[in-house]
Amino acid sequence: MAHRPELQSERSTLTIFGQEITLERVAGVFTPTPHSLFYANATHVRAGERVIDIGTGSGVIAIAAAKVGARVVATDVDPRAVAAAERNATLNAVSIETSVGGLFAGATGAFDVILANLPNELVAPEYLATLSPDEARGFAGGEGGHESLVALLDAAPRHMHARSRFYLPVYTIIDYHGFAVRLVAFLALPVKPYVLEHLSYYRALDEAGTIQLLRDVTGRWCAYDYVYELTLHRAY
């Protein structure tokens, strides 16, 4: 999940796909934010489908998919996240297959549904300098803010069949080469605390047309979250 880890060890209850999830928050592992919960509840998973949750973090989306009866693979570059997802799956009495690694992390075959709430935002250099290498790897979107999404767009077709659905959360439009794209949902949500802490940096990007910020009726700084469903345009 794309925000800085919170050092917590407590339980909370969330609802995704109409399923109640008990989540143990673990030190150093990304926890659900309003952005990630918006993404999760804009997607759709059916019983019996083969699903992969890339960048699973605490495992909440993978667990919700398993609760509706899907067969789930969950991956993350951070071993701590994979361990947390496994613990949370046990806590919720579901079984998920897990793997440590980037993107599909060695998973083979096609998936009916690809879920991937990966970092896709520009991070102010001053703030990025305060992060450890592990935090930066799971948090920053790289140059342009969408390096991980571009890599995922390249890799995904090899794990899709003609009716696969690939749900992609983005802040801006990028090159969706080879895919048919449908906008599933969008919403203006308050920006994250680090954006407010470096607001002059982000306002300069906004004025240059690189990103888009807006203020809601209460004066809060916000950004649009978009969730897209991608299907294959052509056979791979």
pLDDT tens digits, 81-102: 999 999 999 999 999 999 999 8
- pLDDT for 146 equals 65
Least confident of 75-79, 160-164, 232-236: 232-236
Rg for the chain (alpha carbons), in Å?
A: 17
Q: Distance between CA atoms of 156 and 16, rounded to whole angstroms? A: 24
CA atoms within 13 A on the CB side of 75: 17
Looking at the predicted structure, is the pLDDT value of residue 129 above 70? yes
Between residues 71 and 32, which one has the greater pLDDT? 71
Q: Model-level pTM?
A: 0.73
pLDDT tens digits, 201-212: 989 988 888 888
- pLDDT for 3 equals 43
Between residues 179 and 38, which one has the greater pLDDT? 38
CA distances to 15, 57, 106, 145, 153 from 174, rounded to whole Å, are: 30, 24, 26, 11, 10
Least confident of 32-41, 57-66, 81-90: 32-41
Average pLDDT over residues 148-152: 81
Highest-confidence segment of 37-41, 46-50, 164-168: 46-50
Q: Distance between CA atoms of 60 and 117, rounded to whole angstroms? A: 11
SS3 of 117, please? coil
Q: Distance between CA atoms of 65 and 83, rounded to whole angstroms? A: 18
Least confident of 49-53, 62-66, 134-138, 185-189: 134-138
CA distances to 45, 97, 134 from 18, rounded to whole Å, are: 11, 22, 33
